[in-house]
Amino acid sequence: MPQINVNIRMDENLKQDFNAVCDEMGLTISAAITMFAKTVAKSRMIPFDILLMDKREITLASEKALAKDWLLPEEDEAWANL
């Protein structure tokens, strides 16, 4: 299946923090976002709660949910679990 490029906008500090977490997990940003998209497409839902909170709390809740779900030793294992 052909792949396409998707551009997203995000705060530079968030990108750096996200990239650091991805690096610790052995993932690229692209792989992490693809895993998120596959999870949403498969489950037909966002894999974390979206609550009425201030922006900082939403970011922290989202990061914790993603880190918990994808804390796997190798990227190949993560892909196999999709």
- Rounded-to-integer distance, Cα 26 and Cα 28, Å: 7
- Rounded-to-integer distance, Cα 68 and Cα 53, Å: 20
pLDDT recorded at residue 30: 95
- Rounded-to-integer distance, Cα 37 and Cα 56, Å: 22
pLDDT recorded at residue 17: 95
- Rounded-to-integer distance, Cα 14 and Cα 20, Å: 10
Token pair belonging to 61: 């809740």
Report, as an integer, the average pLDDT of 28-44: 94
pLDDT recorded at residue 48: 83
pLDDT recorded at residue 47: 87
Residue in 53, 69, 79 with CA at minimum distance from that of residue 21: 69
pLDDT recorded at residue 15: 95
In the chain, what are the domain boundaries?
A: 12-77
